[in-house]
Amino acid sequence: MKPTRLDRLPEQLRQELRKARRERGWSQLELGRRIGIPQGHVSGIETGKVVPRFDTLLDLVRVLDRDLILVPRALVPAVQALARDYQEGREARLEAGTRPLYAAEESEGEPDGR
């Protein structure tokens, strides 16, 4: 992995964001629309071109049904394992009927009135 002094926003986190967005079948435009930021900005964040403010990132992860939480360093491995297992479970359930599952939902979930 290139150190690319551009990952002031951790690459791992960026990948997870992109993955979560795609799981939902949302384009950057769609995701941006939901939290009120332009497509170009979503792109900049996902590619590591800009480091978002904390509140922006929080809006982003929450609309993707995730959250950012503060944990003691000692617990990081355990929590990550927990999260990974959980996700793998979801994915397994997902490919069972290879359908986006989320993509369909055109319920226009409240844009979280920013």
Partner DNA sequence: CACGTTGATACAGTATAACAGATGAATTTG
Partner DNA sequence: CAAATTCATCTGTTATACTGTATCAACGTG
Would you tell me which residues interact with DNA (CB under 7 A)?
Answer: 22, 27-30, 36-41, 43-47, 49-53, 55-56
Q: Which residues, including other chains, have CB under 8 Å from residue 64's CB and lie 6 or more apart?
A: 17, 20, 21, 24, 31
Which of 43, 87 has the CB closer to DNA? 43
72 binds, among DNA, a copy of itself, none (CB under 5 to 8 A by kind): a copy of itself
For residue 34 the two structure tokens come to 């939901």
For residue 77 the two structure tokens come to 């491995």
Which of 29, 68 has the CB closer to a copy of itself? 68
Q: Which residues, including other chains, have CB under 8 Å from residue 62's CB and lie 6 or more apart?
A: 112
63 binds, among a copy of itself, DNA, none (CB under 5 to 8 A by kind): none
For the CB of residue 72, give the shortest distance to a copy of itself in the complex, in Å.
5
| Phi-psi sector, 16: left (phi>0), alpha (psi -120 to 50), beta | alpha
Q: How far apart are CA 65 and CA 68, in angstroms?
A: 10
Within 64-83, which residues bind a copy of itself (CB under 8 A)? 65-76, 78-80, 82-83
Contact criterion met (CB below 8 Å) for 46 and 17: yes
Residues binding a copy of itself (CB under 8 A) = 8-10, 13, 16, 51-55, 57-58, 61-62, 65-76, 78-80, 82-83, 86-87, 90
